[in-house]
Amino acid sequence: MKNINKIKFLLVLFLGLSIFSCETTDLDLLNDPNQITVENGNLERYLVSIQVDFANFAEAMGRNGAQLTRIEQMSSISYANAFDPGSTNYEWGLAYQGMFSDMLNAEQLAIEQGANKHIGVMKILKAYTLITLVDYFGDVPFSEATNLADFPNPNLDDDASVYAAAINMLDEGIMFVNEEGLNLENDFYYNNDFDKWRKLAKTLKMNAYVNTRLVDGDAMNKFNAIANSGDFIATTADDFQFTWDIVNNNEIDARHPAYSADYTSGGATRYRSNYFMDMMLNDNDPRIRYYFFRQNECTPGNFDADGVACANNTQQLFCSAEPRPIHYTAGMVFCSVASGYWGRDHGFQGGIPPDSFARTATGVYPAAGNYDDDRYSTTGLEQGGQGAGITPIMLASWAHFMVAEMNLAGGNTGGANTYLQQAMQISIDKVMSFGSEDPDANLDTTDEGGTVPTSTEVSNYISSVSNAFANGNANDKWEIYSLQQLKAHYGNGTDTYNMYRRIGYPKSLQINIEPSPGNFVRSFLYPADEANANSNITQKANVNAQIFWDNNPASPAFPSAN
């Protein structure tokens, strides 16, 4: 990943695209002069724009899911306030005003040119986007969307029908990428390896069948047909991910968004999840030094790695001298994590103290920051891998977790355990491979007391999880599976958000620091830009509405860790 994709950067500059901009638009702005149109664009420029918008969409939606499932820190005491109607204007605009509008025009050009593979790629990307929109919002515009001449206020389509249409679209995508046709001038994901695009489409179908298992009696059979064929993303060579760049200037910031936030002249600007860091620390998870970079070795109110107490510091960490909330269980992490891991609790929305050079930053995976080799230095510009990290979108490890879950749901606990172990191994191997992205990291495995996990340590970790899974009861098995699935999805929490609503595990998640945070987000409120402008969309009354595949008990009874 050290090789800078100069073509990608130059094309992005040429298009004037702003990677991960916070600017939002609505469905009515099809004639925005900053957008490509049939008159001023061409097929390849469309595909560049579509691919970059897609990466931003996957990154932003994945962060939403990560905050809800404690992979990332959610900074609002109320679930409804954390994800109010204004919070997803950007993502909605990327999908409808960006990708779907561009795809409509690009498909016309592709048909004229016989560019079948371009059509196939667009259908696969659109299917993923539609499925994700349904997963988060439920009913969404589809049949009338991007046809503003006839439908200036597109109606919502039933979420189950959109899901079905997206699955059919994946089949169409497979058909088109298998046809003869021109290669893409710039394929930022698979470099025109259309066997990989086919595997991606089939893996996305598997993912859809996992989600619909509770409402479709044939979902498991359809899932197993693909899984048994082996024609899915089974190795990291086929991983579907977007690779960011190291470029940062007045025109554009093409670095991983988490890197841009945490490697600044003023230190780290995001807070990591105390729950997630504490869980990985207590489990001695081999990935922890790759996920997180500590700027200090002692978090106020806790202990350093040698067991020495760290003094309270209420100026930098407000809660370090406060009592544990009475609604927290005795073993639940509160306020601070040992060994210098400095973040915030789920739902904490206090002010910003002078701690930007103390809080834990994102690490070398997936954002290409620093590897944590106990240097305890402050973050700054151009450190580590300089932000040339990835947004993971569909990985081989995630596919193995899906197979594990379907085996567990079908009563094959032995098969579930086997795939659980494989998923963990694939995830850990991938994460550890990112260590070399930090040229200043001490990765010497011969040093006594070195920080890089040995193969024996990794094997022992996986064996300990596998043994606990084998010896546990049914609840234990679901808890163990879900915790490992959650850990492996650092960098994109969409699938974990779906899993949590689907099975109700993990039950050990840190609860909101506010005793009455309102119900968990079963589906998102519609974006304000769309709900306010579209007379055919009525804003939801609350976040309680369940999407079609979520037939679990209504909130607040489910999910339990709220």
Q: What is the pLDDT of residue 13?
A: 43
**What is the number of other CB atoms lying within 10 angstroms of the CB of residue 130?**
23
| Three-class DSSP category at 410 | coil
DSSP, residue by residue, 323-341:
PPPTTS-TTS--S--STT-
> Kind and range of the H or E element at 241?
strand 240-243
**Whole-angstrom Cα distance, residue 2 to residue 13?**
20
Residue of 559, 535, 537, 534 whose CA lies nearest to 546:
559
Reported as a single tens digit per residue, the pLDDT across 90-141 is 999 999 999 999 999 999 999 999 999 999 999 999 999 999 999 999 999 9
Q: Which are the contacts of 411, defined by CB distance < 8 A and separation ≥ 6? A: none
Q: Which residues of the chain have pLDDT under 50?
A: 1-34
Residue of 368, 499, 511 whose CA lies nearest to 70:
511
Q: Which are the contacts of 189, defined by CB distance < 8 A and separation ≥ 6? A: 51, 240, 241, 242
Reported as a single tens digit per residue, the pLDDT across 458-475 is 999 999 999 999 999 999
Q: What is the pLDDT of residue 38?
A: 53
Q: Note the maximum CA span of the chain.
A: 70
Q: Cα separations (Å) of 513 from 83, 325, 349, 471?
A: 17, 7, 10, 33
Reported as a single tens digit per residue, the pLDDT across 309-353 is 999 999 999 899 899 999 999 899 999 999 999 999 999 998 999
Per the CB < 8 A criterion, the answer to whether 204 and 124 are in contact is yes
Rg for the chain, CA atoms, rounded: 23
Is the Cα torsion angle 439, 445, 448, 454 positive or negative in sign?
A: positive
Interior CA angle at 27 toward 78 and 89, to 5°? Answer: 20
Torsion from C-alpha of 214, 219, 224, 226, nearest 10 degrees = -130
